[in-house]
Chains A and B, each alone.
Chain A
Amino acid sequence: MAQIIEARAVSKRFRQHRRFPGFLGALKTLVTAEYTEIEAVTDVSFAIAQGEAVGYLGPNGAGKSTMIKMMTGILVPSAGDLTVLGRVPHRERQANAREIGVVFGQRSQLWWDLPVRDSFELHREIYGIPRPRFDENLKSLSSLLDLEPFLERAVRQLSLGQRMRAEIVMALLHDPKILFLDEPTIGLDVVAKDAVRKFLSRVNRERGTTIILTTHDLQDIEEICPRLIMVDHSRLIFDGETAKLRTALGSARRLMLEFAADPGPLELKSARLTSDDGLRKHYLLERDDISLVHVLDEIGDTTALKDISIEEPNIEEVIRTFYQRRNAELPPR
């Protein structure tokens, strides 16, 4: 498969100019060249093939948005080579823009006071989409996302979930080869998140649109992206199959069992006991192939059981485990 995005040792440093307060300070800001540098992306390399769905995962401030902004031509890399569809994005920004779609979870591209359809029509003009193609895309995409009832409504009257669906539909109206999404599920409720995830995964499968999405929610990636790129503190720390992530990183799910009456110490083979408060017992599920069924099977008599919960490891935990692992593997010095 042809690589449509290639990043070779890409870095981005931000210069933060020193600011002085007040009006005279503003003038002083202009004439002094004092600044500090922030490394937002350091030496990141990867290649993405046509048709892939890649999750770009990392905690806040890890450099996800910065990478998206470089791939979409908004920002110029400080070092390294970056090509998208054979172009250097910032040098051929408009040509690149025609072939990609971009959605920012935290900023709207729709006209706040106008009906959704008006923004779509403007989009059609800007991208020069032929009318029949536009009508066809609008129809199929909005029916997939149940957007039709909102098309004539002013954007400010939509819920966040409805608005995000409209943003995604708009970004797909011109049949982009790649769809970039920066935190598309941020702030959405469970139902809206689910709708967005299902839709994106369908767009990827049925339309063959390459998807790159950033998130700090592991679940987004597990449901949409077979491949995962993980970054932390500006550096790439993992690039591989999402399904293998937990095994690769060995981060365990947490299991909590709550009993009506204390059954006494309860050691299990399928899960490791980590704390025991009598009625409440906490375990770690360290193996991926172990499910709740195995656990219940092992307990046998579940009549005293009042509640069960399984918690996925959150991103911070995954990364912490990753580091512990890597440090343990480092040769002693």
Chain B
Amino acid sequence: MLRTLRILPRLALMYLRSQLEYRGAFWIDRVAQVITYASSFAVIWILADRFGTIAGWNWSELALLFSFHLLGYSLGACMSFTQMRQLEEAVRLGTLDTLLTKPISPWAYMVFSGLNPGYTGHALLGIVMMGWALSIVAVPWSIGWVAYFLASLISAAMVTGAVLTMIGATALIWTRSNHLYSLFFGFWELSRYPINIFPTAIQATMLSFVPLGFMAAVPVAVLLGKPVPILGDWAGPAALLAGPFFVALAMWQWRYALDRYQGAGG
């Protein structure tokens, strides 16, 4: 009797956890995202309002940084995040096996059969915010500046997509990957602040292994003519090259992982 009573809450908890693994997690993430955006934006606003600037960035510059981050993220994530998060399940249930018997890239199939309309909202929010930020920031308008702006935004989206894809692809070898996404979102949180506010170790990490510095902090600093730690004068070209570089790395890793793919068994 006592034993049964002890097992019941455990069972309930396990069921809850298994539910959260799937559908529940999706909606919780969506709600969490909205709350995160609102609260981080509020924090930036409060800090900037109080101190005038954060690490040399004023309020409108921070708004540009924030919107660049949001837009680049939604462009990259709509091509990767929800699809690659399903990869773990596709491995476990064998749906990936069936994709591999078709004359099509399983990556392309997954990404395009899972394009998430949920990101249109993010992107619109990013665009509106960016338009407003651009109207109040002192911008050295020129054709070159606009071209760099667009190219570095695309590069930022590529970095985002590549990192999210590389995380998902680890499921091809380890059959699990989703626990690593929480690691990503830890750094993702940091990546919408100016990179010079962090200790050097974190700066170095965000410019190498976890290259989320290229999602916004580096390109927007270049666009606004602000100094970038570690990279210095190389920041401009680095922000443009980061996207193609990490996409190439992700493609290589995908092939590597597919060659070692074993299925989930049974």
Instruction: Give the interface of A toward B (CB within 8 A).
Output: 14-15, 17, 23, 26, 29-30, 65, 69, 72-76, 90, 93-95, 97-98, 100, 102, 104, 106-109, 126-127
Nearest CB to that of A66 among chain B residues?
A: B263
Q: Are A23 and B179 in contact (CB under 8 A)?
A: yes
Q: Is the CB of A107 within 8 A of B93?
A: yes
Instruction: Flag whether B144 is at the interface (Cβ < 8 A).
Output: no
Selected contact of B97 from candidates A30, A74, A98, CB within 8 Å: A74
Beyond A26-B179, A107-B93, whether A74 also contacts B104 by CB under 8 A is no
Contact indicator B179/A104 (Cβ below 8 Å):
no
Asked if residues B259 and A74 are in contact (CB atoms below 8 Å), the reply is: no
Contact A107 B103, CB 8 Å, known A74-B261, A76-B259:
no
Q: Could you pull out 27 A-B pairs where Cβ atoms are within 8 angstroms?
A: A14-B262, A14-B265, A23-B179, A26-B176, A26-B179, A26-B180, A29-B176, A69-B263, A72-B100, A73-B100, A74-B97, A74-B101, A74-B263, A75-B263, A90-B259, A94-B103, A94-B104, A94-B105, A95-B103, A97-B101, A97-B103, A98-B103, A100-B101, A104-B98, A107-B97, A109-B98, A126-B104
Instruction: Please give 19 more A-B residue pairs, beta carbons under 8 A apart, in addition to A106-B94, A127-B102.
Output: A14-B262, A23-B179, A26-B179, A26-B180, A72-B100, A74-B97, A74-B263, A75-B262, A76-B259, A93-B100, A94-B103, A94-B105, A97-B101, A97-B102, A100-B101, A107-B97, A126-B102, A126-B103, A127-B103
Q: Count the A-B residue pairs with Cβ separation under 8 angstroms: how many?
A: 58
Interface of A is mostly: mixed
A14 to B180 Cα, complex, angstroms: 24
Instruction: Give chain A nearest CB distance to B244 CB in angstroms.
Output: 25
- By a CB distance below 8 angstroms, the chain B residues around A76 are 259-260
CB distance from A159 to the nearest CB of B (A): 20
Partner of A107 from B95, B102, B104, B105 at Cβ < 8 Å: B95
Cβ–Cβ < 8 Å partners of A100 in chain B: 101
Contacts of A95 in B (CB 8 A): 103
Residues of A within 8 A of B105 (CB): 94
Contact A74–B100 (Cβ < 8 Å): yes
* Inter-chain contacts of B176 with A (CB < 8 A): 26, 29
* A154 CB to nearest chain B CB (Å): 17
A74: B residues at CB distance < 8 A: 97, 100-101, 261, 263
Q: Which of B163-206 contact A (CB under 8 A)?
A: 170, 174, 176, 179-180
Knowing A107-B93, A107-B98, the reply to whether A65 touches B266 (Cβ < 8 A) is yes
In the bound complex, residues from chain A placing their C-beta under 8 Å from that of B266 are 65
- Whole-angstrom distance from the CB of B257 to the nearest CB of chain A? 12
Q: Closest CB-CB distance, B205 to chain A, in whole Å?
A: 16
Least CB distance, B172 to chain A, in whole angstroms: 11
Given the complex, which residues of A lie within 8 Å of B260, measured CB to CB?
A: 76
Which residue, of A14, A75, A126, has the highest number of chain B Cβ atoms within 10 A? A75
